[in-house]
Amino acid sequence: MNPAAEKAAGHQASEIIRIRLRHVSSETRRRRVEKARIIAATIWRRWKVGVYRWQLKHVRWFLVHELSGRSANTSYQYFLVIRALIELTDRDRWLASLRGSWSTPQARKPTAIRQLVQADTHS
């Protein structure tokens, strides 16, 4: 099923992701549903295809081009949503081809440790 408009593509993705997020907090669900809408609408604007017609090149394009200016943490959050959409549409085999900086979370250092590390490097 291919949606006829950008808004329909976003709605389709958000409905798919809701299936996966039944048991998470409402705030997490809201954020992930919004990311699913953004991903689907962005891919639809560029390629005019809905979630069920995505090809690997569409998802990879989004990850490479649309997340290029985002922080590592934000990119990882988008990747989690993409991974869920891929798994829910039975395309798990794509995951091996989607490795990149976005596919692993960035470790956060506590502020005090970060300041000590920076002080040591500037000495």
Domain ranges of the chain: 6-121
The amino acid at residue 68 is S
CA 114 to chain centre: 27
Global confidence as pTM: 0.79
Write down the pLDDT at residue 16. Answer: 86
Beta strands in 51-99 (DSSP E): none
90: left (phi > 0), else alpha (psi -120 to 50), else beta? left
Handedness of CA 16, 22, 24, 28 (dihedral sign): positive
Distance in angstroms (rounded) separating the CA atoms of residues 65 and 39: 12
**What's the pLDDT tens digit per position in 8-54?**
888 888 888 888 788 888 899 899 999 999 999 999 999 999 999 99
Q: Residue 109 — very low, low, confident or very high, per pLDDT cuts 50/70/90? A: very low
